Amino acid sequence: MALATFANRAVAALVASRFLTLADAMGYGGASLLLAAFCLLVAAFVYVAVPETKARARLSPRSHIASPPAPPTPHPQPLPVFQGRTLEEMTAHFCEATGDESARLVLDQAAAECCAARRGRGGEGGGTGK
């Protein structure tokens, strides 16, 4: 993608910097026709040489809407199941698997903020009376 962006910008700079020279030599109509011919050559090249455009039937813009979605393909390996585990257990598993302890810090900070918020609401009469 970066190569395509670079090529696009390079060609745009080349065309922009040389268009007036072409227009002086050929006239504005001639310069525009030359650039149009070049665009047609590039379009033909893309149609013939780019794999994404070879031997594909043209799809209508709404053809994917009318057809039902494809069934999900099964995952080749079963994913680990975390059902029944607490957030702390999942975080500990993540930290052990990745060696990244920053998740524990975020979890501890969130727990502290949650506890502070609960203490702030406790005196307002919004509790359950226990």
Ramachandran sector of residue 38 (left: φ over 0; alpha: ψ -120 to 50; beta: rest): alpha
What is the pLDDT, as a whole number, of residue 28?
Answer: 92
What is the pLDDT, as a whole number, of residue 103?
Answer: 75
pLDDT in tens, 56-95: 555 555 555 556 666 666 655 554 555 666 777 777 777 7
- Residue 127 pLDDT level (bands cut at 50, 70, 90): very low
For residue 113, pLDDT over 50 is answered with yes
pLDDT in tens, 4-50: 899 999 989 998 998 899 899 999 999 999 999 999 998 998 888 87
> pLDDT: is 125 or 87 the higher one?
87
3-state secondary structure the chain: CHHHHHHHHHHHHHHHHHHHHHHHHHHHHHHHHHHHHHHHHHHHHHHHHCHHHCCCCCCCCCHHHHCCCCCCCCCCCCCCCCCCCCHHHHHHHHHHHHCCCHHHHHHHHHHHHHHHHHHHHHCCCCCCCC
What is the pLDDT, as a whole number, of residue 90?
Answer: 76
What is the pLDDT, as a whole number, of residue 130?
Answer: 44
Show Cβ contacts of residue 127 under 8 Å, excluding neighbours closer than 6 positions: 121
